[in-house]
Amino acid sequence: MAEPIVMPSFGMYTAEGILVGWLQPSGVRVAAGDPILLIETEKATQEVVAPADGILHQAARIGERLTEQEVVGFILADGEVPPLFEGELVTATGQPFAPRRAASRGQPAAEKALPERPPGGVIATPAARKLARTANIDLTRLTGSGPGGRIVEADVEAAIHSAAAPGAAPARGWSPLIPATISPEAQAFLATFPEPAAKPPSPAADDIAGWARAHAGNEAEVRQLNADIEARYKPQLVQTHVGGVPVLDIRPQSWSESRRVLVYVHGGGYVLHSAASSLISSVPVADDTGLRVCAVDYTCAPAAGYREIVSQVANVVTALRAAGHDWADIALFGDSAGAAIACAAILKLRDEGQGLPAALVLWSPWADIAEVGDSYATLRDADLVFRYEQHLKSAALAYAPATEHRHPWVSPVYADYRTGFPPTLIQGGTKEIFLSNCVRLYQALDTAGQTAKLDLYEGMPHVFQAFTPDLPESKLARQKMKAFLDRYLSGGH
């Protein structure tokens, strides 16, 4: 019988905690007493251990606020199916799981009465104060979301993200070069970008709790963007599992019964985002192409390394084949880090002798994970999204050790494509440090005799298609993507 994993008692004056990280992936065998997750309150970060021997099943997502005695997962016996909570249909962006039952007879844990915030001064957790000092955030200007009005670390992170968000006042001295050769809409949009160097640096590669907090903060930051996309396009979103891997099954309003499916692998530097927080990429594509999109909710680094992440994506494709989809029915699509993962998953499937999908579409692929390539240097100060040393280096090391950065699953530019690869469309912009990644990957495919198309866009930043679906450049890119998929998928035009 499934043994529930419940939230522990947080102690006096603390009503809730935040799940900042799973220490073991879903599906692994754990022993009673093994640390399996991290919970952060305004006072401390604490481990929760497995209540029994068995197979771990996660039912709560990183970044969720949880109360005492709330069920966050289960320990299962071999072959046991986890209990299902109500409402697998996703109806609210960022809430892919229905509210979980508490451990006691399925009732929510009682909310603790908290003391009123004393008058005067600033009440903040030590972690919040430390982050505020580092980021030069004035705590007196913040409203605390923690118990008793305390300012918690998430409040400071929100202030940092707000200051760096598109539309915020640019940093002093920052004036991005905006070419006159792009659409007026794109010119106006690019003018809103803040200085990338002003964004906080990424956590250290091995800082699991730090990455978990960054992941939670990022999910919160983009939640409204994704909610707007969901409200506009009104897709059917169903959280499910394919091949034992969590996926978000996306079906556009125009979808009609078909065997064709597009497997989507989200970006986020291997360490951020989720299927639910990447609707800004997947949903407009589903709507434009009319395809069912199977968005893989892979385990982000550093909780998982590149071999496990690549295998998760490959397992989804294998399961689709087992469910009756022909190779001609399946295409893959990835953006940024997700593009590299998609490439690697196809290489794995090919080298195992399973076969090849019908097509692959890549947006701004992180095809060489190291800072290697001409545009890493020539476009270092022109890139509107990030700086390698400040934002990407530690993410790369969280995904794979430096000694393996030329492994084809990590940096697909170094793969041998002579033994086969699906027709590939590579899209990118001329204002991103990954421009050389696009060019080098195209050349690797083309010189190996594979079908490849390099589709570059003047003045566009990294993964511009996802920033706003209404730019003329974004619409054109998706139109070309649709034509490419229609050409190579079964039943195409």
Residue 190 has pLDDT above 80, yes or no: yes
Residues 60 and 191 in one domain: no
Residue 175 pLDDT = 75
Residue 50 pLDDT = 92
pLDDT in tens, 11-20: 544 557 778 7
CA 151, 153, 157, 158 dihedral sign is negative
Q: Which two tokens stand for residue 232?
A: 């506009």
Residues 339 and 470 in one domain: yes
Residue 110 pLDDT = 38
pLDDT in tens, 136-148: 576 767 777 665 5
Residue 179 has pLDDT above 90, yes or no: yes
Domain holding 30, by residue range, is 3-76
- Catalytic (active site) residue 432: yes
Q: Number of folded domains in the chain?
A: 2
Residues 72 and 189 in one domain: no
Catalytic residue among 432, 436, 473, 474: 432
- CA torsion angle 285 291 296 297 (round to 10): 70
Please report whether residue 53 resides in a domain. Answer: yes
Residues 412 and 284 in one domain: yes
Residue 70 has pLDDT above 60, yes or no: yes
Please report whether residue 130 resides in a domain. Answer: no
Please report whether residue 137 resides in a domain. Answer: no
How confident is residue 71, by pLDDT bands cut at 50, 70 and 90? confident
Bridge partners of 262, per DSSP, are 293, 331
Residues 189 and 67 in one domain: no
Please report whether residue 142 resides in a domain. Answer: no
Residue 159 has pLDDT above 60, yes or no: yes
Residues 57 and 190 in one domain: no
- Catalytic (active site) residue 391: no
User: In terms of pTM, does the model score above 0.85?
Assistant: no
Residues 190 and 46 in one domain: no
Q: Which of 108-122, 230-244, 278-292, 380-394 has the lowest mean pLDDT?
A: 108-122
Please report whether residue 393 resides in a domain. Answer: yes
Please report whether residue 317 resides in a domain. Answer: yes
Catalytic residue among 282, 336, 364, 436: 336
Question: Euclidean distance between the first and final Cα of the chain, in Å?
Answer: 51
Catalytic residue among 311, 462, 473, 474: 462
pLDDT in tens, 399-410: 999 999 999 999
Residue 17 pLDDT = 78
Percentage of the chain lying above the pLDDT 90 cut = 59
Residues 225 and 358 in one domain: yes
Q: What mean pLDDT is reported for the chain?
A: 85
Q: What count of Cα atoms within 13 Å lies in the side-chain half-sphere of residue 297?
A: 24
Residues 203 and 59 in one domain: no
Q: What count of Cα atoms within 13 Å lies in the side-chain half-sphere of residue 461?
A: 24
Bridge partners of 332, per DSSP, are 263, 360
- Show which of 76, 98, 121 is a domain's final residue: 76
Percentage of the chain lying above the pLDDT 70 cut = 81
What average pLDDT does this structure show over 52-70? 82
Residues 190 and 43 in one domain: no
Residue 393 CA to residue 477 CA, distance in Å, equals: 29
Please report, for the domain that includes residue 224, its CATH number: 3.40.50.1820
Please report whether residue 149 resides in a domain. Answer: no
Q: Which of 161-170, 246-255, 261-270, 438-447 has the lowest mean pLDDT?
A: 161-170
Residue 231 has pLDDT above 70, yes or no: yes
- Catalytic (active site) residue 336: yes
For residue 11, report the phi and psi dihedrals to the nearest 5 degrees: 100, 175
Residue 170 has pLDDT above 80, yes or no: no
Residue 489 CA to residue 292 CA, distance in Å, equals: 13
Residue 104 has pLDDT above 60, yes or no: no
Please report, for the domain that includes residue 61, its CATH number: 2.40.50.100
Residue 99 pLDDT = 40
Top pLDDT among 110 and 13 is at 13
Residue 40 pLDDT = 76
Please report whether residue 382 resides in a domain. Answer: yes
- Show which of 60, 76, 92 is a domain's final residue: 76
- Show which of 40, 56, 76 is a domain's final residue: 76
Residues 263 and 397 in one domain: yes
What average pLDDT does this structure show over 367-373? 96
What average pLDDT does this structure show over 351-356? 97
